[in-house]
């Protein structure tokens, strides 16, 4: 008997997307195969490596551990939602400027996991970062560079927050006059 497809709708990186999928489809496959967002990697498919980590409704989730249907109506951020090539986010800049990757396979998952860590703890110690990295495995094992990258990202995020908001009064005055 054919399995009936189910419609799954999500808001992903600020865009509303939906697709009809088999109820057994994992969220990781839904994101990669149905939504063509291949920045989310699959390393093990068995919740071990963390390469598939994304943010679902504000929490870091290994997307191979839940079904797409369980994420129906969810708000999702993947690595593609962090920034663009021309406008890297602080997390991406941290990895770029501190050489926080080697082959890069684990990197999207590591960055999403670290987004979760910095949300909870904006100024983590090396040890706290290492503990936060427990769920994401880097086969290249360059962990010291990853720790440096996350610390740099934390600094960049703090700097961004401390910058005064852009003064738009001149523009507003111009519009109203």
Q: Which residues bind ligand FES (CB under 6 A)?
A: 42-45, 47-52, 62, 64, 101-107, 138-140
Least distance (Å) from ligand FES to the CB of residue 124?
19
Tell me if residue 85 falls in helix, strand or coil. coil
CA distance 139 to 168: 47
Of 126 and 161, CB closest to ligand FES: 126
Q: Are 93 and 115 in contact (CB under 8 A)?
A: no
* Angular region, 114: left φ>0, alpha ψ -120 to 50, beta rest: alpha
d(CA 31, CA 156): 29
DSSP 39: T
Residue 129 or 164: the one with the smaller Cβ distance to ligand FES is 129
Looking up tokens 């093990």, which residue turns up? 44
Closest contact distance (angstroms) between CB of 136 and ligand FES is 8
Based on CB atoms, which residue is closest to ligand FES, 12 or 27?
A: 27
Instruction: In angstroms, give the least distance from the CB of 68 to ligand FES.
Output: 14
Between CA 163 and CA 157 the distance in angstroms is 10
Whole-number minimum distance, CB 104 to ligand FES, in Å? 5
Specify the residue, 47 or 123, whose C-beta has the smaller distance to ligand FES.
47
User: Smaller CB distance to ligand FES: residue 95 or 154?
Assistant: 95
Q: Which tokens go with 145?
A: 């560079």
Minimum CB separation of residue 153 from ligand FES in Å reads 16
């Amino acid at each position: 008997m054919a399995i009936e497809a189910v419609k799954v709708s999500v808001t992903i990186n600020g865009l509303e997307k939906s697709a009809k999928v088999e109820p057994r489809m994992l969220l990781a496959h839904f994101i990669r195969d149905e939504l063509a967002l291949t920045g989310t990697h699959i390393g093990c498919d068995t919740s071990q490596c963390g390469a598939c980590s994304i943010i679902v409704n504000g929490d870091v989730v290994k997307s191979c551990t839940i079904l797409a249907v369980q994420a129906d109506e969810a708000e999702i951020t993947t690595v593609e939602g962090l920034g663009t090539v021309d406008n890297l986010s602080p997390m991406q800049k941290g990895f770029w400027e501190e050489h926080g990757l080697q082959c890069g396979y684990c990197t999207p998952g590591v960055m999403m996991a670290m987004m979760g860590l910095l949300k909870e703890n904006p100024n983590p110690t090396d040890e706290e970062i290492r503990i936060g990295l427990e769920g994401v495995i880097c086969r290249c094992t360059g962990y010291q560079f990853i720790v440096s990258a996350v610390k740099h990202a934390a600094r960049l995020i703090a700097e961004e927050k401390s910058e005064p908001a852009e003064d738009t009064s001149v523009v507003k005055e111009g519009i109203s006059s």
